[in-house]
Structure formats: C-alpha cells, structure tokens
A = this chain, B = another copy of it.
Amino acid sequence: PPGRKVLIVYAHQEPKSFNGSLKRVAVEELSKQGCSVTVSDLYAMQFEPRATRNDIVGCLHNSEEFNYGVETLKAYKRGGLSSDLIEEQKKVQEADLMIFQFPLYWFSMPAIMKGWMDRVLVQGFAHEFPNCYDSGLLKNKLALFSFTTGGSKEMYAKGSINGDIRYLLWPMQHGIMHFCGVKVLAPHICFAPEYVSEEKRKDMLIAWAQRLKTLWKEEPIICSPEWYFK
C-alpha cells in the first residue's frame, strides 16, 4: 500500500540473471502499489562481507584483544561504525519489509549476503539481550527470503537426498530474522530455474508478481521448530 517502505537486499553478479529478473519484478510491482523501494545491490556496491577492525571508526574499546561483537556494540552506541554500515542500518530502520533475493549457495545465502547480516545487524541496533526473538529491536518489521535453487523441488522434499527445504531455512529465518524480532513471511522459492524452459521461467516471474499483489495481507509464519521440522 502507498507509503510502505521496502528494502530489497539483492545478491547476484549478473543483472540479466533470473535473480535479476525477480528483483526487477519486485521493484516494479511494489512501486506500482505506491511503496517506496530501496535496493541494496551487494555485488554492484562491492559490499564488504568481512567483519574486521575497519568497521569501527577511531579508537577501539580494547585494542589489546579485538572482540568484534563488543567493539561494534560500543561503536554503534557512540555513532562510530563505518559509513557503509550506518547507511545500511538506516535502510533497515526505515523498512517495513525486507526482501532477501539470492541464489542458494551451499544450503544458505552467498557469503556477500551473509556478510551483510554479520556486519549490519549489530548488537545495540538489531538486538540487545534480553531484547531478542519476539522482543528483538527490529520488531514490527517483516522479512521474506526469495531465492533460486540448483536442485529441483523433488530433491528438496522430505525424505529425499537434500532433505526438506525448510531444514535449511532455520538458521536464516529463525536464527537471524526471528532473533532480531522480525516477523517472517513464507519464503518464495524458485526451484532450478536454470533447468526449466523459458516459458516456465516466465511463469515463475508472473507468479512472483502475483504473490506480491496480495503480500501485505499475508500472515507471517509461526517461526518455531514445528514449522521447520514438524
């Protein structure tokens, strides 16, 4: 609906890729609805995935023994995080919905996107004990993992070799988003787009646009072990 803010965190090297098309479809459909859409195009930004001392501007709290978690918490509190992180945190802060668009790499997100999680969602900003899970600091936001796979839907069925696709969503949806208080919408999974016909790929894009039309009416999943492991 008009006024809603969406952040798309996008990790693909190639604009012409199917992931690129899924991203474009989302930008178009959500803009048409009057949402304000921001894209963090991680490869184009050459986003830094490594969590290092460079993320802290100025002096360290303890320069004798570098502790990334402690240092980024302290730096966050005094406004001393590096500018790329402050920039991303602003986008997160403003967003009602975050869409993560990526190809599945090794049962997870590509390292460049994992680096976004590691570096942007610092303690103090996204969570701070005891403010985690349902009282996480990013509560009242939504997240949606939209990704493509190499394997087919059958290969990701319960009892088949890759196991239920939901098994691998646990660290991302529960361990990251739920931990920060974010409510999780059902994932959007395009299975094996590289191995289907051009027509099937078009159908997949249409289905994504279709889903986005009524996205704001969706209820979040109940993010507990039952959803993942039944």
Contacts and interface: CB of A to CB of B under 8 A. Distances in A.
Interface string A68-88: 110000000000000000000
A80 B117 CA distance: 31
A188 interface: no
A56 B8 CA distance: 28
Contacts of A167: 167, 170-171, 225, 228-229
Interface string A145-178: 0000010000000000111000110111011100
Interface in A113-156: 114-115, 117-119, 121, 133, 150
Interface stretch (A9-17, A23-31, A90-98): A9-17
28 contacts: A13-B52, A14-B65, A14-B66, A16-B64, A16-B65, A17-B67, A43-B52, A49-B112, A49-B115, A50-B111, A50-B112, A51-B105, A106-B114, A106-B117, A106-B118, A106-B121, A106-B171, A107-B170, A108-B171, A110-B118, A111-B112, A111-B115, A111-B119, A163-B174, A163-B225, A167-B228, A168-B170, A229-B229
